[in-house]
Amino acid sequence: MSTMVKAERVCKSYGSVEVLKGIDLEVNSGEVFCIVGPSGSGKSTFLRCINHLEKINAGRLYVDGTLVGYREKGGKLYELRDREVAAQRRDIGMVFQRFNLFPHMTAVENVMEAPVQVKRVPKAEARKRAGELLDRVGLADKRDNYPAQLSGGQQQRVAIARALAMDPKLMLFDEPTSALDPELVGEVLDVMKALAQDGMTMIVVTHEMGFAREVGDSLVFMDGGVVVESGNPRDVLTDPQHERTKLFLSKVL
């Protein structure tokens, strides 16, 4: 099995505040990799480092064997130009906590925008593909609705379709259900489960322990900028080995 994401001693600081303190982990292709932990543990920051929305201060991050955000020459790292970083990002879909849809565009226009602007896909072709993706997330009948006419769960499903429109090899989900009303969470998780069944490599920062247990292949518990515990989600959630993990899970399960 090939490695899709590899982190080696990844560190990230904001001034004197260390947010990530040497993260080491590997995510295999086709795997659903869940990251859980308390607020402020560095989960979302790490996710944003994977597509270079945040620059790391030390260590190395690879996606599909390629160093992210830098090139290495003679043992030194040199930051890539913005254009080169953007090219790397095309292969990495990201779904945020807030949906970040363009309010002045319909669902179908939101989904087709990036392929048209970034990949120069002809509009008719992009519109057809956007329609197929909206159908895939259960929103074929909402293609001409604007974000304000959609529920939070529907907006998040449009956001997932939009990320898929670039045909990514990796999908990052940053607490995709935490801004939703409880009754809308399931419809978004169902779309994510279907993606997992289709073999999409996914890294999911989540509070949904049921999803992690049911769909996840691997799980890490982060706290204070380090990986405290990792393993099979079922094992970690039912029989945590570390006191810190036990304490956290006693509050969320």
Residue 213: predicted pLDDT:
94
- On whether the CB atoms of residues 9 and 26 are closer than 8 A, the answer is no
List, edge to edge, every strand of the sheet that includes 66-67: 17-28, 3-14, 58-63, 66-67
Which DSSP letter does residue 57 get?
S
Supply the pTM of this predicted model. Answer: 0.94
Range of the domain at 209: 3-250
As a whole number of angstroms, the distance between CA 184 and CA 233 comes to: 24
**What would the two tokens of residue 174 be?**
């940053």
CATH code assigned at 27: 3.40.50.300
3-class SS of residue 129: helix
Contacts of 239 (CB under 8 A, 6+ apart): none
Q: Are strands 32-36 and 170-174 parallel, antiparallel or unpaired?
A: unpaired
Residue 100: predicted pLDDT:
87
The CA angle 29-216-11, to the nearest 5 degrees, is 70
Residue 205: predicted pLDDT:
96
Residues of the chain with pLDDT under 70: none
Per cent of the chain over pLDDT 70 is 100
The total domain count for the chain is: 1
